[in-house]
Structure 1
């Protein structure tokens, strides 16, 4: 056991100024003073101790909050962003590339763009509207090899609002806003350094996962610079009941049936509903820090001629124009592909691409919609470029090679490049018409095809008649013979026809000139089955030498 010791009177103690002797008698007083002055020196002593402690607490809290926020972000990313699939590449041969390059040959280097419609890109879908990643890769490669570039929505709108004609180009559009565009198409688009425009059903985003995109995916795609986003309605991509019989139709184009009230919407109710939806779709896009949409794609591509019985189509078009300068459709009664005339009308027809569309077929379809100049020599030798034929026989009916039988139709019509001559004006078309027989058959040369005011010159053995919109406006006798030469000069507003260089028929339109452009049409007819068909011996189209003096 250790011996008991008497405590010493002096101890060494540190009161904050280093070791110093401290008498036991006043130790308690010094210690109390030390505590009251907070030791007085260094960080965390004296008056600095509480700010330091608050700072350290705040730092600790910020770490905790940041850690929590990172955890929440990881959770939301996993929930609202699908992982992108590895890049898939098509097996493309050298011969494929050479063929695609050849298909682009002969087309103008600068021309109005062609708009293509895609829907989705996915690996496992059997839908005719869904492309596999390999098919999509092959199609973009074909466009590259054929000399096409892609436009942004801003570039496309700039041209359509009067900007210069761009290099040979396409606008790639995708309807609905499906998740496959993020999962598969995005990396393929990046590989080709191309650009896409998606028309969103904004009310479906973040819903029906994983079919539709999420806003997080959309925001990421927008930041990449590869994608633009436009409107496809907020919640009108569906069919609804439109009458008491239970018939259905597109909510955009139809007044809906109000079941509880046993009636259809009136005009004011229809207008309010549609405007609310369209404005909502615009708001959804703008609220996610993207530019205000300038384009709209019609659900199901319900265009003119596809409306319900009492025709609310004109109302729908009017409402769309209030919000969108350009409206896209895949089906319309007049094939207004991207052009000055379609810009004036505010309606653009697109070229739809399906799962079974080969790259070669897609390039052919695009080429048919590229606007070409009004300069065609021997177009009768290009039967593949004539459309709109209203006959059960081949194009040979116009060349004197049609079979003669009781089943042969009595009328035939064909339009030359109907989709790619939309902007034609200031041109001259000349045709030599033969085998006009004894007046039982007739041939016609039409101009301004599919415009607001098409003009047709009808020739028989002994008479020339000028029709405007199908109505006779002039008629002149001809020297009776079996062949006549017709030349039609097309100015901005004036159409003048000359027959055999002697007989003149003319018409001046009061319609806006931007609604009068269009290409040529040939027609042939017989009055009785078995009669001789007239023959188009030759045909030529060329620009007017002095366009400024016409119209």
Structure 2
């Protein structure tokens, strides 16, 4: 009986053990099956997270009041390029909350109004200025600081901004990027609109066998498994798919179709490994989808205006951690368009000149002979306010030059500077010439003989259809425009002095007047 009882106890214990084992295995199976769904739920919850916003800082004093009063009233908006707002002092692209607040306060005190993307694109299309003092605030990448820090400050000052999203990164690497839920709330506020900054092409990747990395958007990538660079067709299909996905992502989240696109890293096409055909194909893909593109690093100065609208690309003023409110207003003054009649005594305004090339400081001092050009240099030139004069189409220059000796030196004037159709003038002791430039080296050259003299008086008249030059009252042949839009030939002017002879005898400009 006892043996039977022990056997029965063992049987019951064995049965319980098997039941516990089956239960444990069942729970494990459920957990394994549920794991992907749990992870997906947690990931989705993370993407839908809405973080608490930081309170905007209390305003301290009147900000950059004196600079605000001095800021000119430009007739075209200036586009400001921000990246992130927050406490991270490690990156030069993160503006502190305190500094951002002070910048917006300085803009408000100077009478600036912020534009929506719709207002800005309306300006590009019509050319009608939206007001005397306007800025278009843009933020690249879609970082979390836009919701937590920037939005409350915008609300404080009643301003608007546009966020350029890398749509494939939204909700990832939290809390670095915004979530779609935060984007939805920002859109509902009326302070924000959202534009395109690629889907997942905002990254650097290898472009050759050596592993050199460049922007994946503006370069054909290296295919390591095949030991080659991707073909033109592969590149174009990849970029078209990325742009399409970026647009679809925004529309799928009930946001308006994007009107503008910001280049990743603001890399220029002339610095990529794209050939001319691929670069044009990229521009064509962008033109089909967007009204214009934005960059912080254009090969030619293209602030918002008719020339930028004609080119379909607008240059932005980049704001970094070190940009002070007063510095911001000074930059806005530098970008503000001026009329030819407002170019007062240009040779006496050192700050209005920007050196071209790698010749060190040029400014009016080198052009007027008040300072010596750098050693080993045979040519020095400088642009006059290239951003402020980008849309000039009608103007006249009157200049005086002396110190012209033989054929070894000359003075130069380039009009329509920085445009697709510049005209370069060169005046020496015995001869003068006009040389027009254009795409793919198109252009023409006109020359005329001069009465030999070390001193000449030069007059240059610029209109959309022709450039005329006279020296000492005698006309030289004119250079006439081709069949291109007026805006494509708009631009201000630059001056240069050349001395390529063995003697250090530099010519100089003795006078300059703009009419």
Settle same-fold status: TM greater than 0.5.
yes
Q: Which structure is richer in relative contact order (CA contacts within 8 A, separation 6 or more)?
A: 2
Please name the residue that 1:203 is paired with. 168
Deviations 1:6-60 (A, max 9, x none): xxxxxxxxxxxxxxxxxxxxxxxxxxxxxxxxxxxxxxxxxxxxxxxxxxxxxxx
Pairing partner for 2:326 from 346, 357, 360: 360
Please name the residue that 1:545 is paired with. none
Q: Does 1:531 align with 2:504?
A: yes
More divergent stretch after superposition (407-416 vs 280-289): 407-416
Q: Does 1:425 align with 2:393?
A: yes
Pairing partner for 1:381 from 335, 338, 348: 348
Deviations 1:390-414 (A, max 9, x none): 4334421111112388x25221101
Q: Does 1:402 align with 2:371?
A: yes
Q: What secondary structure does 2:478 align onto?
A: strand
Please name the residue that 2:199 is paired with. 234
Deviations 1:347-369 (A, max 9, x none): 11111010011112222222222
Q: Does 1:260 align with 2:225?
A: yes
Please name the residue that 1:89 is paired with. 58
Is contact 1:252–1:316 with CA below 8 Å preserved after alignment?
Answer: no
Q: 1:259 to 1:356 in 2, by over 3 A?
A: same
- Following superposition of structure 1 onto structure 2, how do residues 214-229 of structure 1 map, counting pairs within 5 Å? 214-229=179-194
Report the CA distance between 1:78 and its aligned residue. 11
Report the CA distance between 1:200 and its aligned residue. 0.2
Q: 1:104 to 1:255 in 2, by over 3 A?
A: same
Please name the residue that 2:421 is paired with. 453
- Following superposition of structure 1 onto structure 2, how do residues 21-36 of structure 1 map, counting pairs within 5 Å? none
Pairing partner for 1:481 from 449, 453, 456: 453
Deviations 1:420-474 (A, max 9, x none): 2111001111111122245532111221101112112211122111121297611
Q: Does 1:540 align with 2:513?
A: yes
Q: Could you tell me how far apart the structure 2 residues matched to 1:140 and 1:408 are?
A: 46
Q: Does 1:320 align with 2:289?
A: no
Q: Does 1:370 align with 2:336?
A: yes
Q: Does 1:191 align with 2:156?
A: yes
Is contact 1:152–1:228 with CA below 8 Å preserved after alignment?
Answer: yes
Query: Where does structure 1 lack aligned partners over 5 or more consecutive residues?
Result: 1-71, 543-551
Q: 1:516 to 1:79 in 2, by over 3 A?
A: closer
Please name the residue that 2:495 is paired with. 522
Q: Does 1:411 align with 2:379?
A: yes
Q: Could you tell me how far apart the structure 2 residues matched to 1:352 and 1:82 are?
A: 27
Is contact 2:202–2:215 with CA below 8 Å preserved after alignment?
Answer: yes
Please name the residue that 1:329 is paired with. 295
Please name the residue that 2:67 is paired with. 100
Deviations 1:178-237 (A, max 9, x none): 111100110101111111011000111111111100111101000111001000001111
Pairing partner for 1:509 from 481, 486, 490: 481
- Give the TM-score normalised by the residue count of structure 2: 0.85
Report the CA distance between 1:528 and its aligned residue. 2.7
Instruction: Could you list the structure 1 runs, at least 4 aligned residues long, displaced by more than 6 angstroms after superposition.
Output: none
Report the CA distance between 1:76 and its aligned residue. 5.5
Q: What secondary structure does 1:505 align onto?
A: coil
Pairing partner for 1:160 from 124, 139, 143: 124
Is contact 2:46–2:174 with CA below 8 Å preserved after alignment?
Answer: no
Is contact 2:68–2:329 with CA below 8 Å preserved after alignment?
Answer: no
Query: Where does structure 2 lack aligned partners over 5 or more consecutive residues?
Result: 1-40
Q: 1:394 to 1:514 in 2, by over 3 A?
A: closer
Deviations 1:245-297 (A, max 9, x none): 32222221122223333333222222221111111111111111111101000
Q: What secondary structure does 1:217 align onto?
A: helix
Q: Could you tell me how far apart the structure 2 residues matched to 1:329 and 1:466 are?
A: 32
Q: Could you tell me how far apart the structure 2 residues matched to 1:419 and 1:271 are?
A: 33
Report the CA distance between 1:315 and its aligned residue. 2.7
Aligned-residue Cα RMSD (Å) equals 2.1
Report the CA distance between 1:176 and its aligned residue. 0.3
- Following superposition of structure 1 onto structure 2, how do residues 73-88 of structure 1 map, counting pairs within 5 Å? 80-88=49-57
Q: Does 1:141 align with 2:105?
A: yes
- Following superposition of structure 1 onto structure 2, how do residues 495-506 of structure 1 map, counting pairs within 5 Å? 495-506=467-478
Pairing partner for 1:440 from 408, 416, 432: 408
Pairing partner for 1:294 from 259, 272, 287: 259
Report the CA distance between 1:79 and its aligned residue. 5.9
Which structure is larger by alpha-carbon Rg, 1 or 2? 1
Q: Could you tell me how far apart the structure 2 residues matched to 1:285 and 1:230 are?
A: 8
Report the CA distance between 1:339 and its aligned residue. 1.1
Report the CA distance between 1:345 and its aligned residue. 0.7
Is contact 1:116–1:170 with CA below 8 Å preserved after alignment?
Answer: yes
Report the CA distance between 1:147 and its aligned residue. 2.6
Q: Could you tell me how far apart the structure 1 residues matched to 2:202 and 2:371 are?
A: 47
